[in-house]
Chains A and B, each alone.
Chain A
Amino acid sequence: MAEAAVLSTGSSAPPTRRRRNWVPYALLLPGLLWLVVFFVLPMVTLASQSLQEGNVDDGYTFTGNVGIYVDALKQYWPQFVRSFLYAGTATVLALLLGYPLAYFIAQKAGRYKNLVLVLVIAPFFTSFLIRTLAWRTILSDDWFVTTWAQKLHITDLLQAVGLTANDSLLSSKFAVIMGLTYNFLPFMILPLYTSLERLDPRLIEAAGDLYASPWQTFRKVTWPLSLPGVVAGTLLTFIPAAGDFINARLLGNTQTTMIGSVIDSQFLRVLDYPLAAALSFILLIVIVTMVSVYVRRAGTEELL
């Protein structure tokens, strides 16, 4: 009946239908173009770069030198391991800090919700570099944070567990991990907020009504229902943190170099493009592998 009505309005109906089929593709086009120019092409260039030999002055030629990947791993595996360790620790810390905060904003903040959200995002109004430099001041030896930490023997504790080398806070593993945690915390909070915001508070009431203590309610209802946010948040924190090269350079020492810094210096200072490209590719492959295993283990597709 609806069809008949459409037909009777005139011949304009069929073309409309045909045109509509084009719309999704037309809308995809700008994004696809962007990805081709700024992602696919550079990736192909990078891949071919990693298999070239030569130097900057004489130019590079493609030789298919796969051995560079083995050399890169042999030489820089400690930096790889360190990067994933730091990024993993920072991700866990960000989750521990971010989850209660996201829960509060989503479920309890009421009319202050937007204000608190703005406060979470506010640091983004200044540049990443400046924020990290600010941490140098915060953790510097003569600032109260360090002197208080010394008085409270926190520095001793950090030294005992090997996170710092002496009684200052700056230029240590501790400082790098703190910097990573701080810089990527909003990436953790926002996805967590989104998924906790969707959590129906009546489900929490229902769990309580069915004899679940507050802790059981969290474990059986709140946590599983917020898993999509946890997965998204941890990925958005872990992936950029693993490749980060600013925090390690500004807040660390020579013993805390992360793989991002190595790639950075190979590209821009040593000018060993093939090695830098190979390192980038290894980082990429390891991250993609870890992420796909993680996402599958978390079983989020069922929750979404």
Chain B
Amino acid sequence: MSKQQGKGDLGLVALTKSFATFTAVHPLDLVVPQGSFFALLGPSGCGKTTTLRMIAGLEEPTSGRIRIGDSDITDTKAYQRNVNTVFQSYALFPHMSVLDNVMFGLRRRGDKDAKAKAKEVLELVQLEQVASKKPTQLSGGMQQRVALARALVNRPDVLLLDEPLGALDLKLRRQMQIELKRIQQEVGLTFIHVTHDQEEAMTMADSIAVMNAGRLEQLGDPATLYEQPRSTFVANFLGQSNLLRATVNPGGTDHVVTVRAHDTDLEVSREHLPEGVRDVWLGVRPEKLRLGEGGGPNQLRGIVRDVSFSGVATQYSVQMPWGQELIVVQQNDGTARAVLGETVTVSWAAQHGFALDASQDAEAGAELVDDHG
């Protein structure tokens, strides 16, 4: 990777992991800047956990290098790395008190202030009152925070979180998302968070690496990934997308290009169109679609086939003349609502669309989204 690597940045160079029958991680190049909250996002089996375990030293890479700053840690053992993990199952030592669990890492390194530091971190995660209890006496949310404290207290170069909120219920998970983000900002350590929950990744991370089938699909900050996905997988896995089959018309201005979809000319920003592609999927997010004429050229007419009201918003399914149903999400902001069977106009602004190479599967990633987050 040609990118300049900073002092404490984590660098993965052509990192690969193959098992007997399949390749879990194809050569992966990645730089995680020091102090960032980084998410590895993807469906189960995409290689994100394997990548994490290689960084932790729990799995040996088939090839490639792992660096922290200038030092190459690829050939060191897990216990020699200044990297700590918050395990999905927490893996708290059941025979030790919460305090002993948190002190475990410091003690192994002969830290004289182990107790004081452990207490300080327990305070940070608001668990100082249960320090003498055994992990099994705590609730899931508390155990989760003990696991976090046990890793944090060592102030590792990189803190790895393996689906840390997976076992918590929705409400607690939301709370912990905010909490985790606060703690990360407070301690300023590099967090790498592995998750299959796109909403969780977008809520917490500064940058997200979307992985699919052992490869990096796209890397970027949450807003860019969402607004300008570069593949149908990212378009479908991060939120919903309406994808229209279209052909790029020659010409256009510096800013706008017209594409022809189902005998209608539609506009899309030039910067959202990949270079040199003629057949495209024209994508629009459901909340970018409006019911009613928007004044621009991007207008389609269809019949409302389904209406579902969710309080904050209403989701419509609008059937186009060629059979495809577009999902439209309208904020419940007092504008008129459409009714079932009504013929409506759907419109959107040119800069809200994005175009993707049509050689990809339009459904990629859609079936993998799980909505519990």
Contact = CB atoms under 8 A, between A and B. Distances in A.
Check if A and B associate: yes
A209 interface: yes
Contacts of B92: 206
B94 A210 contact: no
B77 interface: yes
Given A203-B91, A225-B94, A210 B154 contact: yes
Contact of B78 (A200, A203, A205, A220): A205
Interface stretch (A177-185, A211-219, A260-268): A211-219
Q: Is the interface of A mostly helix, strand, loop or mixed?
A: helix
Interface in B59-106: 77-80, 83-85, 87, 89, 91-95, 104-105
B104 A212 contact: yes
B79 A209 contact: yes
Given A216-B108, A221-B93, A206 B87 contact: yes
A225 B95 CA distance: 7
Contacts of A205: 58, 78, 87, 91
A9 to B, nearest CB: 34
Nearest to A201: B91
A209 B108 contact: no
A221 B95 CA distance: 8
A208 B89 contact: no
B150 interface: yes
B109 interface: yes
Given A205-B58, A205-B78, A206-B85, A211 B91 contact: no
B105 A210 contact: yes
B259 interface: no
Question: Residue among A208, A221, A302 with the most chain B CB within 10 A?
Answer: A208
A269 B373 CA distance: 80
Nearest to B103: A210
A202 B91 contact: yes
B112 to A, nearest CB: 15
Contacts, number: 62
A208 B91 contact: no
A224 interface: yes
Contacts of A208: 57-58, 77-79
B154 A202 contact: no
Contact of A303 (B78, B79, B95): B95
B39 interface: no
B93 A209 contact: no
A207 interface: yes
B80 to A, nearest CB: 8
Nearest to A214: B79
B95 A207 contact: no
Contacts of B80: 211
Contacts of A217: 79
Interface in A78-110: none
B216 interface: no
B56 to A, nearest CB: 6
B108 A202 contact: no
Contact of B104 (A210, A213, A303): A210
8 contacts: A203-B91, A206-B87, A208-B57, A208-B79, A209-B58, A209-B151, A211-B105, A220-B93
Given A205-B58, A209-B151, A216-B108, 18 more contacts: A200-B91, A202-B91, A203-B91, A205-B78, A205-B87, A205-B91, A206-B91, A208-B58, A208-B77, A210-B108, A210-B150, A211-B80, A211-B105, A211-B108, A211-B154, A212-B79, A220-B93, A220-B104
Task: Kindly list the 9 A-B residue pairs having the minimum CB-CB distance in the complex, ordered from nearest.
Answer: A206-B91, A210-B105, A211-B108, A208-B78, A202-B91, A208-B79, A209-B85, A211-B79, A210-B104
